[in-house]
Each structure stands twice: as structure tokens, then as C-alpha cells.
Amino acid sequence: MTWDWEFAFEIFPDILNAIGVTIGATVAAYFISLTLGLVLTLLRRSSFKPLSLFVAGVIEFIRMTPPLVQLFFVYFAFDMSPFLTGAIVLGVHYATYVSEVYRSGIESVPASQWEASKALNFSTAHTWQKVILPQAIPPVIPMLGNYLIVLFKETPLLSGIYVLEMLAVAQMIGSDTYRFLEPVTIVGFLFLVLSYPSALFIRYLEKRSGQMPGSSEKGVKT
């Protein structure tokens, strides 16, 4: 089978149309993982041991099982739209990864910051909000950016529960015309074109964040 440009141009708009669904699912899942990830991190740090152990167990379980199986589980157990199911499952799955990133950020804040806040009579909530998180989040932003790309590349999974994202459309074209070469290659090309420049940009940010004041590399001298 050889590449058929005419066919490729004919189906390109159909696949490109589905890019909205792909990006929508990515953004929705990313928003869930950023917020839920923070909640998980804070719960895991709770001084109430049973709670922190329970949360740690849940995180391990989610991280160690395939997102595809989680997708099927939620899809068949709850009556939700495929799109919503996909966004929630991917969001929750990657929240467990994102929470590790937050944890590394929080652990990089020196303990003396807690002591200083206590000396100033700040409440715990106030300390988190005004002292710890503003110092913990900015250095890990590039790492968080990585998960946006990871999520983007995971969205083809959603074709498993009939979300019409790019790969699902390509597969439909393929089974209608018996030509998979063009649709699958176009999908791969679109993923590459969108994710590679973003990855380069994040690598650039990562390099730069090493030079920001307050980061662990420079600025903080003991």
C-alpha cells in the first residue's frame, strides 16, 4: 500500500475536527489533576495517621493499575457521559503523579520557614497559603507542565469508551475504507507537531527555573 495524498487531504479535516475533543479532554483532566493532586498531597501530610495512611494507599493503588482499566471500571459502574468519565479518570490517575511533584516542592521548602511562621503566630492554614505554597509551587511548574503533555498523549485511550477524539475518528475511517496508513499517520503527525514543541518549551523553562532566585540550585545558601 502506498501513501495516497488525495485520500489524506480528504480525511485530514475530519481528523482535525476531532482535535477539539482531544484538547478539551486534556485540559479538563489537567485541571482535575492539578487541584486534586494538591488536595492529595495535603491529606497525605495530615498528622492524623489513619487518614494519611489511607490516602497513601489509595495513591499507590491508582498509580499501580492501568488507566485503561480504571476507565472501563468507572464507565460501566457510573452513568456518566464518556467525555466526563474520560476527563475524570485521567485527571484522577495523573493527580497521583502530580501530588508527588507537589510533595517534592513542599519538601524543598526549609523547615525554618515553618518555625518563622510560628514565631509570627500564623495559623497552619495561613502558613500553607502565604508561606509554604508560594515557595513550593513555582520551582515545580516545569515538572507540572510535563504532565500536561503526558495527559495529552494519553487521550487516545478515551477511544476505548467511545469518545470521538482523533484516534477514534481515524479508526472509524480505517474500518470504513480499509485504509489505516493515512489516518493513523496523520494522528501520529498531529500528536508530534503539538507535543514536541511544548516539550522543548518545558525543557527550556526547566533550565531557566534552575536559575531563578529561591530555587534549590542557586540563591539559597546555608
Closest approach, Cβ 47 to other proteins, in A, equals: 25
Shortest approach of other proteins to residue 151 CB, angstroms? Answer: 11
Is residue 71 exposed (0-12), middle (13-18) or buried (19+ Cβ within 10 Å)? Answer: buried
Nearest approach, Cβ of residue 123 and other proteins (Å): 35
Examine residue 110 and tell whether it contacts other proteins (CB under 8 A): no
Report the candidate in 83, 87, 91 with the shortest Cα–Cα distance to residue 62.
91
Least distance (Å) from other proteins to the CB of residue 192? 4
Sign of the four-CA dihedral 17, 23, 25, 28: negative
Site size with other proteins, rule: CB under 8 A: 37
Window 67 to 106, contacts with other proteins (CB under 8 A): 67-70, 72-73, 76-77
**181-200: contacts with other proteins (CB under 8 A):** 181, 184-185, 187-188, 191-192, 195-196, 199
Is 65:183 a contact under the CB 8 Å cutoff?
no
Q: Give, as ranges, the residues between 142 and 171 that touch other proteins (CB under 8 A).
A: 153-157, 159-160, 167, 170-171
Nearer to other proteins, 86 or 156 (CB): 156
The smaller minimum CB distance to other proteins, of residues 117 and 173, is found at: 173
31 vs 73 by CB, closer to other proteins? 73
32-53 as b/e: b if 16+ CB within 10 A: bbbebbbebbbbbeeeeeeeee
> Which residues contact other proteins by CB under 8 A?
1, 60-61, 63-70, 72-73, 76-77, 153-157, 159-160, 167, 170-171, 174, 180-181, 184-185, 187-188, 191-192, 195-196, 199
